[in-house]
């Protein structure tokens, strides 16, 4: 029965959409900056999964090369974002994302 189920690209797309929604939901409801950051990463990876799926479906390598770009950007983003979060948590160990509002002029 299980063998009868064929894994179609739709599965990957649904998985990507689910991952994206979980990430977005987490981003909205959590306050811990580190968790919010992980949610953003989750959303990014959901998108890359979608890109790869479409690349396979359309037999176009363009989608895969975009994924490489996304990885590079994500890496850069991690460097900056993590640095900010580490600096923030060092100053105030139990800070939430809302505390960053202090920076507003």
Partner 1 sequence: MLDIVWLIPALPLAGFLVLLAAGRRIGEPASGWLATAACGGSFVASVVVYAGLLGEEGEGRSFVQTLFEWMPVGDLQVDIGFLADPLSITMALFVTGVGTLIHLYSIGYMHGDRDFSKFFVYMNLFVFSMLMLVLGSNMLVTFIGWEGVGACSYFLIAFWFTDEANASAGKKAFVTNRIGDWGFLVAIFLAFASLGTIDYAGVNAGAEGLPAVTATAIGLLLFVGAVGKSAQIPLYVWLPDAMVGPTPVSALIHAATMVTGGVFLMTRVNPILAAGYDWVPDVIAWVGVITAFVAATIAVAQKDIKKVLAYSTISQLGYMFLAVGVGAYVAAIFHMITHAFFKALLFLGAGSVIHGMHDEQDMRRMGGLRRFMPITAATFIVGWLAISGVPPFSGFFSKDEILLFAWGSGGAQGRALWAIGLVTALVTAFYMSRLVFMVFFGQPRWTEPVGEPAPVAAGAADPEVETGEAATVAAPEPAPAHPGVHVEPHESPWLMTLPLVVLAVLAAVAEVINLPFTPDLKVLEHWLEPVIGANEAHIDVATATKVGLAVTAVVAALTGIAIASLVYLRRRVRAVEPAVLAHAWYYDEAITRFVGGPGTKGFEAVAWFDRNVVDGAVNGVATVVRTSGRGLRTVQSGFVRSYALGISAGVVVVLAYFLTRLYI
Q: Given the rule CB under 8 A, which residues bind partner 1?
A: 24, 27-28, 31, 36, 97-98, 100-104
For residue 78 the two structure tokens come to 């991690």
Pairwise CA distance, residues 36 & 1, whole Å: 39
CB 73 within 8 A of CB 41: no
Compute the least distance from the CB of residue 4 to partner 1, in Å: 31
Pairwise CA distance, residues 41 & 66, whole Å: 16
For residue 21 the two structure tokens come to 């929604």
By beta-carbon proximity to partner 1, the closer residue of 27 and 74 is 27
For residue 58 the two structure tokens come to 């359309």
Compute the least distance from the CB of residue 102 to partner 1, in Å: 7
Compute the least distance from the CB of residue 51 to partner 1, in Å: 17
By beta-carbon proximity to partner 1, the closer residue of 40 and 67 is 40
Residue located via tokens 């959409």: 17
By beta-carbon proximity to partner 1, the closer residue of 59 and 98 is 98
By beta-carbon proximity to partner 1, the closer residue of 25 and 69 is 25
Compute the least distance from the CB of residue 71 to partner 1, in Å: 22
CB 60 within 8 A of CB 51: no
């Amino acid at each position: 029965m299980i063998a009868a189920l064929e894994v179609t690209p739709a599965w990957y797309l649904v998985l990507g959409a689910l991952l994206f929604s979980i990430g977005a939901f987490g981003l909205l409801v959590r306050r811990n900056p580190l968790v919010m950051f992980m949610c953003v990463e989750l959303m990014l990876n959901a998108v890359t999964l979608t890109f790869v799926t479409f690349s396979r479906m359309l037999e176009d390598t363009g989608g895969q090369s975009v994924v490489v770009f996304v990885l590079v950007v994500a890496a850069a983003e991690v460097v900056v974002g993590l640095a900010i979060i580490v600096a923030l948590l060092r100053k105030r160990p139990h800070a939430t994302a809302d505390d960053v509002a202090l920076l507003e002029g």
